[in-house]
Structure 1
Amino acid sequence: MKKRMFFTLLGCLIIFGGVFGYKAWVARMTEQAMSNQPAPVHTVSATEAAVTTWKPVISAVGSLTAVRGVDITAEIDGRVTAVEVDDGAVVEEGQVLVELDADGLRAELRGAQAEARLAELELERQRRLRQQNANSESDVDRAQSQLEQARARVDAVRASLDKKTIRAPFAGRIGIINVDRGQYLDIGAGVVTLQTLDPINVDFNVPQQELSRIEAGQPVRARVDAWGNETFTGQITAISPKVEQSTRNVAVRARIGNPEGRLRPGMFVQTAVQLPQESDVVTLPQTAITYNPYGDSVFLVNETQTEGGETQLTVERKFVQTGASRGDQVQVTQGVEPGQRVVTSGQIKLRNGSKVKIDNTPEPTNDPSPELGNQ
């Protein structure tokens, strides 16, 4: 019994040993076959590091405000008898917008004018009596006072009557009219907004450390999401004389031409103050940089000679330090020299010493100025 079990175990060991041995032999032969194969050549795109002249800018975000803007309200109550303009109309200074019912005030004005005329006649009579020494000086003074009061009453009624006609206080574009004919308006009720759109102000803040670099008259570029990458140009008109204690920022106002009225008050805007200085920097496309927590790197393309004398391109990973970015370009402050070729796409399959071939169709974007302020 024991002898039979011994031979059974021996047979199992021989079988398992053969299986594992065969697998080890196959693995070794596969490894040898793979090691004898040539390293794959990876297709990448590449470009040369270039020296570019950049003008420094101060970027900020802000909002558009009208040079002149007001929400027109009713200064006196009354019923609307006429709306003289359409929504969104361009109006001139003094143009009539809305008329309120003024019949009662017109009647009151006629009564006040009659009282003023009567006071004038009374004053003339008192003066004649005074010349005849038939009254006292106080009677003349009293008549003079009554005339002045009557005239003041006329002026007050005329002022109220004038408020029944709501006019544009300045030229500009009105918004949506909030009243209808026949509607009764209380004092202070909103009628319509009026904004001067050309030119238009851009209000933004810059950090206090940038205060020495900005001044009135410097060019400013602005962009709003509504018009994509289109930029609008203007210049700084005012800088606040104080620094906000809560943010340590300085308020800046620029003015931009807006003849077509495409920019509207309240729009969010990205701005860039163009500074006069210039600097030469080494730049690469953004896609050339591999960003990692342990450091940013690029793959440099080197030329090597094979045993047969052929030129072979290989890559070398190089850690770099980057600076400011503009559009599709990023500044490289250390690690890459001008003229060195750098891989711009296909890095994920590369390692040190990998063989590559360059195919720049299509070529990665390398526009320095799709973003605001980089033109």
Structure 2
Amino acid sequence: MKIKLTYILLIISAPFLLSGCGQTGSSDGHEHEHAEEKQDEHVHGDEEEHAEAEGVVELNAVQIANAGLQYGGMDTVNISAYVKANGTLDLPPQNIAAVSAPMDGFVKKANYLVGDYVKKGTVLAVLEHMDYIKLQEEYLSVINNLSYLESEYQRQKQLDSARVTAKKQYQAASAAYEGAMARKKALEKQLQYMGLSPKRVASGEISATINIRAPLSGHITALNVHNGAFAEQRQELYEIVDTDHMHLELNVFEQDISEVKVGQPISFAVPAMGEQRYKGEVFLVGKSFDQQSKTVKVHAHIGHENHDFIRGYYAEAKIYTEDKRIVALPEDAVVSDEGKSFIFILTEDAHEKGTVQEDEHGHEEEAGNHEEAHGTSFKRVQVVTGEKDQGFVQIAEVPELMKDVKIVTRGAYYLLSEMKKGEGGHHHH
């Protein structure tokens, strides 16, 4: 009987033991799952917190002072619509002179170099040749013989009027005299063309040299002369340009030419001289179309003369066709990052918080320490930009912002740099 009782007790006890073991295992499982959920919630919370912090930068008082920030709002500004054009600096034909030798000769003296400024009438070079002497001798011979021919002509004229001599002799004397006068005038023109004075030659001053003079005031831009060289007639020795009336020769594309009118203002830059912009005005709009470049020539006058301009320099211009109002911000307010454009807005200013706070016991305390702890926060907002002009950039798609929001108009690149530093120092484990 004892054996049977023990067996029954064991059978009865077994379910309870098994049940107890099952309950213990189930409890441990729930606790493990709960811990994993807590861990997941913690990680997810970190990710949400980081996501909220993305695009936000916080500066302390020292950084604010260094940044030199300025604020403003989204506003409409008056900006000009314009047509883009390019071309070159040029001069009118009357401001360019090619200087050549009136007769063949050897260069005895060359006085100036490329870049030198010379006034009209300045002696650029001295040429010499025996032909100069021969020409002057011929002139002297003609004027010396002219007195005899003139007296003979007058004598035959008187005889003809008295019908004492034959008509043929009078006509011969008249032809000889008139021929000598014509030759005298022609030689005088030649001497003057060479820069020699007929009066001085007539008085016996014969020169073996001639002076090559500047026909206008300006800068020497080309020369093909040196001492001892032989200069041929019509050979270009110097080129002189007067830059006082420099103008623009622009090329405007066919789709834009209908908008260009005489009198419209122009802003242009000369890349070879830097980023400075200069002003001008449309003076002439061409009437011929270039089939190759698909452009029309536009002639523009420059507002203020600049003697640093050089003929042939490339120029990039904007021809302003009309004024219009657009939503825009200063160029310094917009920054680029990874191909996108952004602005920064002020989201939390430590200096605008209340100066008194209550502690956990209900006592008032100064909030200065809290201000320093929080700093000043800025949020990055993506924008879509349009044209740039006169220091402003168009905001083509205006983001929805709170009323009276403060936009950073100066110092945005500083904020972007600080944000990049913060992103570089953040790591996930």
What TM-score does the superposition give when structure 2 sets the normalisation length?
0.60
Q: Using the alignment, how far apart are the partners of 1:233 and 1:208 within structure 2?
A: 23
> 2:335 aligns to what?
287
Counterpart check, 1:323 vs 2:348: no
Against the structure 1 CA distance between its residues 129 and 254, is the aligned structure 2 distance closer, same or farther, given a 3 Å change threshold? same
- Written as runs of structure 1 = structure 2, the 5 A alignment for 1:233-244 is 233-244=279-290
Against the structure 1 CA distance between its residues 299 and 100, is the aligned structure 2 distance closer, same or farther, given a 3 Å change threshold? closer
Percent identical: 21
Counterpart check, 1:34 vs 2:80: no
1:74 maps to a residue whose letter is A
Counterpart check, 1:55 vs 2:85: no
1:34 maps to a residue whose letter is V
> 2:125 aligns to what?
98
Against the structure 1 CA distance between its residues 81 and 144, is the aligned structure 2 distance closer, same or farther, given a 3 Å change threshold? farther
Q: Indicate the structure with greater helix content.
A: 2
Counterpart check, 1:362 vs 2:421: no
> 1:332 aligns to what?
395
Counterpart check, 1:124 vs 2:154: yes
* Per-residue deviation, 1:317: 6.7
Q: Using the alignment, how far apart are the partners of 2:227 and 2:280 within structure 1?
A: 42
Please tell me whether the aligned partners of residues 335 and 412 of structure 2 are also in contact (alpha carbons under 8 angstroms). Answer: no
1:31-80 Cα distance to aligned partner (Å, 9 max, x none): 67633435322465799644332112222111111231122222321122
> 2:370 aligns to what?
none
Q: Using the alignment, how far apart are the partners of 1:171 and 1:314 within structure 2?
A: 62
Against the structure 1 CA distance between its residues 299 and 175, is the aligned structure 2 distance closer, same or farther, given a 3 Å change threshold? closer
1:174-194 Cα distance to aligned partner (Å, 9 max, x none): 235432333220122221111
| Other structure's SS at 1:127 match | helix
What is the number of equivalent residue pairs in this alignment? 314
Greater C-alpha Rg: 2
Against the structure 1 CA distance between its residues 148 and 272, is the aligned structure 2 distance closer, same or farther, given a 3 Å change threshold? farther
Against the structure 1 CA distance between its residues 70 and 125, is the aligned structure 2 distance closer, same or farther, given a 3 Å change threshold? same
Q: Using the alignment, how far apart are the partners of 1:209 and 1:117 within structure 2?
A: 74
Please tell me whether the aligned partners of residues 298 and 342 of structure 1 are also in contact (alpha carbons under 8 angstroms). Answer: no
> 2:14 aligns to what?
none
- Written as runs of structure 1 = structure 2, the 5 A alignment for 1:145-164 is 145-161=175-191, 162-163=193-194, 164=210
Against the structure 1 CA distance between its residues 279 and 328, is the aligned structure 2 distance closer, same or farther, given a 3 Å change threshold? closer
Counterpart check, 1:226 vs 2:272: yes
* Per-residue deviation, 1:144: 3.1
1:175-226 Cα distance to aligned partner (Å, 9 max, x none): 3543233322012222111101112111102123433433333322222123
| Other structure's SS at 1:362 match | helix
* Per-residue deviation, 1:228: 1.4
* Per-residue deviation, 1:281: 3.0
- Written as runs of structure 1 = structure 2, the 5 A alignment for 1:64-79 is 64-67=89-92, 68-79=95-106
> 1:197 aligns to what?
243
1:37 maps to a residue whose letter is D
> 2:24 aligns to what?
none
Q: Using the alignment, how far apart are the partners of 2:258 and 2:276 within structure 1?
A: 29
Against the structure 1 CA distance between its residues 99 and 339, is the aligned structure 2 distance closer, same or farther, given a 3 Å change threshold? farther
What TM-score does the superposition give when structure 1 sets the normalisation length?
0.67
Against the structure 1 CA distance between its residues 343 and 227, is the aligned structure 2 distance closer, same or farther, given a 3 Å change threshold? same
Against the structure 1 CA distance between its residues 221 and 95, is the aligned structure 2 distance closer, same or farther, given a 3 Å change threshold? same
| Other structure's SS at 1:56 match | strand
Q: Using the alignment, how far apart are the partners of 1:362 and 1:263 within structure 2?
A: 37
Against the structure 1 CA distance between its residues 48 and 196, is the aligned structure 2 distance closer, same or farther, given a 3 Å change threshold? same
| Other structure's SS at 2:298 match | strand
Structure 1 unmatched runs, 5+: 1-26, 305-309, 345-358, 366-375
> 1:217 aligns to what?
263
1:333 maps to a residue whose letter is A
Q: Using the alignment, how far apart are the partners of 1:246 and 1:361 within structure 2?
A: 44
* Per-residue deviation, 1:261: 1.0
Q: Using the alignment, how far apart are the partners of 1:302 and 1:94 within structure 2?
A: 69
> 2:232 aligns to what?
186
Instruction: Please tell me the root mean square deviation across aligned C-alpha atoms, in Å.
Output: 4.1
Against the structure 1 CA distance between its residues 342 and 143, is the aligned structure 2 distance closer, same or farther, given a 3 Å change threshold? farther
| Other structure's SS at 1:175 match | strand
Against the structure 1 CA distance between its residues 277 and 109, is the aligned structure 2 distance closer, same or farther, given a 3 Å change threshold? same
Against the structure 1 CA distance between its residues 234 and 36, is the aligned structure 2 distance closer, same or farther, given a 3 Å change threshold? closer
1:90 maps to a residue whose letter is Y
